[in-house]
Amino acid sequence: MRNLPRSWLLPALALLAATLFTACLAVGPVRLTFTEVWSGLAGIGLDAHGIIVREIRLPRAVLALMIGAILGLSGAAMQGLLRNPLAAPSLFGAPQTAAFAAVSTIALGWNDTLSWGLPVASIGGAFLSVFLLIAVAGRSASLLLLILSGLAVSALAGAGTALAMNLAPNPFAALEIAFWLLGSLEDRSMRHVVMALPFIAVAAVLLFLQRGAFRALTLGEEAAQSLGVNVDLLRLVVILGVALGVGASVAVAGTISFIGLVAPHLVRPLVGHDPARLMIPAALTGACLLMAADIAVRLIPATSDIKVGVLTSLIGVPFFLYLIMHQRRSLAGGVA
């Protein structure tokens, strides 16, 4: 893959994404061939195949594509903003606060998982993390102070989520919250797609439009400012875009971790270190990773369904530790 011409990277990723999307429609308790999948989508095959593909598996596949793409794009944007390969959307506490807001509404009986109030609450929680971050660290704070403030917001949101589960009105509500927090794309409908799509689309546009500023920022903040980049505004727009996309994703799929961290790293050796060229490949890679994970949880033999958020965490945590060790060796080599 390292010798793959860069002009072929996007078509190759797009082809892989299309193949995995079709596999998402084919894999399940009832196995379908790719021909049966496309016949079911077109409505020219058996009625049973059409129902399985269009009503059961299509919303799940579309959500995996959308959520994986926005998480990958958010990770690339965060790493471009902070100029740090270890940055991820969870850095500023957006997923944790979005989960806390959604869990609270479920625990208090204000919304159910099919209510339009749930994405509104999740996105509101993600925005709340942004406003808390700005209030604590200030708009012109250093990146280190922003990171520390984000960790504090994440810890507060985690504690609030635990409290909401503890105060759940009945054991069934607590169980629903626990399973929802594990992250899953099961039993989703086109209504979930319609709820999440507008917010994810706006977030993607906001983040993608900053690609030129990320390129200038690689020269340093002072150099970027001399080139006309408003660094404070850039920081605010990126945080808001990440909060919007991640909040919508959490609302319909629960907490899915590490896609935003892993996806940019997989394609960075192929596109170089230009953050502007990284964004679309990272989005496509994020979509491929989440679709592949969703296929894997259907194929892994288990007495109960494995949640896709659990699988991404099991894969992502070792990868994160590897990145930390790799960066430590790089810094030690630089000092030597």
pLDDT confidence of residue 267:
92
CA distances from 228 to 180, 222, 249, 335 (A): 44, 10, 33, 34
- pLDDT, one tens digit per residue, over 30-87 is 888 888 888 888 878 677 888 899 899 999 999 999 999 999 999 999 889 888 777 7
Q: What is the pLDDT of residue 74?
A: 94
pLDDT for 136-154, tens place per residue?
665 555 666 767 777 888 8
* Number of other CB atoms surrounding residue 29 within 10 Å: 7
What is the pLDDT, as a whole number, of residue 11?
Answer: 93
Mean pLDDT for 204-210 is 96
242-273 pLDDT per residue, tens:
888 998 999 889 888 889 989 999 998 888 88
Q: Average model confidence (pLDDT) for the chain?
A: 84
Higher-pLDDT residue of 112, 212: 212
Whether the predicted pLDDT of 2 surpasses 50: no
Tell me the per-residue pLDDT of 306-317, one tens digit each, with 9 for 90 and over: 888 888 888 887
Question: Predicted confidence band at 1 (pLDDT cuts at 50, 70, 90)?
Answer: very low
Characterise 21 by phi-psi region: left (phi > 0), alpha (psi -120 to 50), beta (else): alpha
Looking at 67-81, 88-102, 188-202, which range is the least confident one?
Answer: 88-102
| Averaged pLDDT, 225-249 | 89
Instruction: Give the pLDDT mean for 281-287.
Output: 96
Give yes or no for residue 3 having a pLDDT over 50.
no
Higher pLDDT, 335 or 97: 97
pLDDT on residue 142: 62
Could you read off the pLDDT of 293-334 as tens digits, one per residue?
Answer: 999 999 887 777 788 888 888 888 787 777 777 766 765 665
Show the 3-state SS of the chain: CCCCCHHHHHHHHHHHHHHHHHHHHHCCCCCCCHHHHHHHHHCCCCHHHHHHHHHHHHHHHHHHHHHHHHHHHHHHHHHHHHCCCCCCHHHHCHHHHHHHHHHHHHHCCCCCCCCCHHHHHHHHHHHHHHHHHHHHHCCCCCHHHHHHHHHHHHHHHHHHHHHHHHCCCCHHHHHHHHHHHCCCCCCCCHHHHHHHHHHHHHHHHHHHCCHHHHHHHCCCHHHHHHCCCCHHHHHHHHHHHHHHHHHHHHHHHCCCCCHHHHHHHHHHHHHCCCHHHHHHHHHHHHHHHHHHHHHHHHHCCCCCCCCHHHHHHHHHHHHHHHHHHHHHHHHHHHHC
CATH of domain 6-335: 1.10.3470.10
pLDDT of residue 29: 85
